Each structure stands twice: as C-alpha cells, then as structure tokens.
Amino acid sequence: MAGLNDQSEKLIGVEDVLKNFWNKYGRNYYRRFDYESIPDEIGNKVWARIEGEIKNSSQKYIDQGITPRVFDYTDPVDGSLSKDQGLMFNYANGSRVIFRKSGTGSSGITLRVYFEKYDEKTFDIDTAEALK
C-alpha cells in the first residue's frame, strides 16, 4: 500500500477534480447581483414592470424559446410551500434568469437577479464570458 510520501502516486489537485467532474456532468455557470435598499416606491415599480413582462409578453418569449413563469419553492426538509418566490425566464438551452424581490434588508427592497447557464462542453472560460 502506497503512503503519503510515495512518489509513484500523483496527487490530484482541486482543478483536476473540478475538470473531471465537469467532463462527466457538465458545468454550471452562476452569477447573482443584489440591488439593495431600493426605495419601496421605486422597487415596487421595477417589480411591477418585470411582472408585466411575464403577464403581457409571455407569447413573445415563448416564440423565442424562452419560458417565463412565476415560481414557488418547496422546502426539501419540511415540505412547506412558499408561493410566488420570484420570476423566472427559462431558455431552450437550459439557461435561466431569475428575479427575486426581498424585503429582508434594513430598509427598502432588495432585488436579486440570478444568471445561470449549464454547458456540457465548455469548461475553461470565465463565468462572465459564459453568461453573456
């Protein structure tokens, strides 16, 4: 049995582990932007406009291969359901953009925007480049 100091065994670094994982399962790119302390009046107007896009332009998005929807969240531990947790735009290639409104900050509204992309083949590009 080889020991830790045995030079015949190659140590595998974190980068190698990640690349092996990505080669097997693909890679998820992710970025989140938080816009905090937006005054309530302005934050609610922004949110209403985003909601309006889903309600009034759904067919336009669907025609482009984008599925807009309001999403709920089911807690995997206790099974509780939280309705209307945000607005999601799912793209045909598996990418998505999510908008969530939060009032948990000290003042005003926090608007969170998530960008996610799954890629089976491209692993060595910067997250910002992948999410363009």
Convert the pLDDT of each residue in 11-25 to its tens digit: 889 988 988 888 888
pLDDT digits (tens, 9 = 90+) for 89-107: 999 888 999 999 886 656 8
Cα separations (Å) of 68 from 55, 57, 83, 121? 9, 9, 16, 26
Q: What is the predicted pLDDT for the residue at 80?
A: 95
Judge contact between 58 and 88, C-beta under 8 A. no
The answer to whether position 12 is within a domain reads no
The answer to whether position 130 is within a domain reads no
The average pLDDT across 66-73 equals: 88
The answer to whether position 3 is within a domain reads no
> How many structural domains are present in the chain?
1
State the residue range of the domain holding 82.
27-122
Cα separations (Å) of 30 from 42, 79, 98, 111? 27, 26, 11, 17
pLDDT band at 45 (very low <50, low <70, confident <90, very high): very high
